[in-house]
Amino acid sequence: MTATSKNRRSPATILNKAVVYSLLVVGAIIMLLPFYYMVTTATKTSDETFTAELVWVPRNWKITEYISAWKADRQNASLGLPVTGELKKLFSTLWVNFADAWKEDRNFPWYYMNSLIIAVTTTVLQLATSALAAYAFATMKFKGKEIVFMIFLGTMMIPGQVTLVPNYVIVAKLGWIDTYKALIIPWIASVFSIFMMRQFFMTIPAELWDAAQIDGCTRFEYLWRVMLPLAVPVLVTTGLFSFISGWNTFLWPLIVTNSPRLRTIQVGLSSFNQEFGTKPNLLMAASTTAIAPLLVLFFIAQKQFIQGIARTGLKS
């Protein structure tokens, strides 16, 4: 009797879950709606873009349109009439705006290459420097360790705009303006990444270090062979954050670069908006191609990303 009553769900429990799931669905719709609008606008024709009524589903997204185009081609072929290729034309409208956007601005390949170089390089260097610093803060004992760590955390509260001018002056005096050095070197260390890794390293039992010492491991060997393999989820998490930050950076590349071929994708989109803002379908196509690498990267690494977030900070 008791087991049966436990298995039964009370009306209050069912109602609570229904409310929670309803709120989650509404929240998901609100967050996905701008993305859906961007993608659909990127595939709209000029007529659909500038129509008085908002077109939620473009013609090239409707299965019925493809069926009608296929039937029209089949009918013309059966009657011996010239096949107009309606189905092929309909398919081509899906990506014609993407091709036109890249044709309008010939520097888009450079924007992508620059963003990729900056994002990958800063991510790799941030992971290297953050792992070393986090290892020191988590496992090594030295005087003033907690004070130094609190100072590190305190720098996270300083807005980036405060250090923008001093950083620019330093970069200018070093002669790095309009070079990859200015775009990469100032961002090879991240306090947030250090904090994430330090919190994870603190969850690893100290007994592993004792056992490693018996086997003759140095501190660096222990970090490389023991701690980093265990920290793959948090490495992926911090790596994703670093890559996204490097890919989305806008203000700093805008002020330290002069030549179009050193611009990042975000600066390129801003320039594209100024020149072709009257063509929303082309602008949305360019924006969709800019966000696509981040979506692919997240879907590939989402399992490790979720594990890294869940495991970080379990131990104080």
66-102 pLDDT, tens digit per residue, is 777 777 767 766 766 665 666 677 777 778 888 888 8
In a domain, 114, yes or no: yes
Residues 35 and 117 in one domain: no
The CA distance from 125 to 129, in Å, is 6
Q: Which domain range does residue 265 map to?
A: 107-311
Residues 172 and 249 in one domain: yes
Confidence of residue 134 (pLDDT cuts 50, 70, 90): very high
Higher pLDDT, 76 or 213: 213
Residues 28 and 136 in one domain: no
Residues 38 and 116 in one domain: no
Residues 140 and 33 in one domain: no
Domain count, the chain: 2
pLDDT surpassing 60 at residue 316: no
Query: Which CATH number fits the domain that encloses residue 167?
Result: 1.10.3720.10
Residues 248 and 113 in one domain: yes
In a domain, 257, yes or no: yes
In a domain, 216, yes or no: yes
Average pLDDT, the chain: 85
Residues 204 and 123 in one domain: yes
Residues 20 and 146 in one domain: no
Look up the pTM and report it: 0.82
Residues 147 and 255 in one domain: yes
In a domain, 294, yes or no: yes
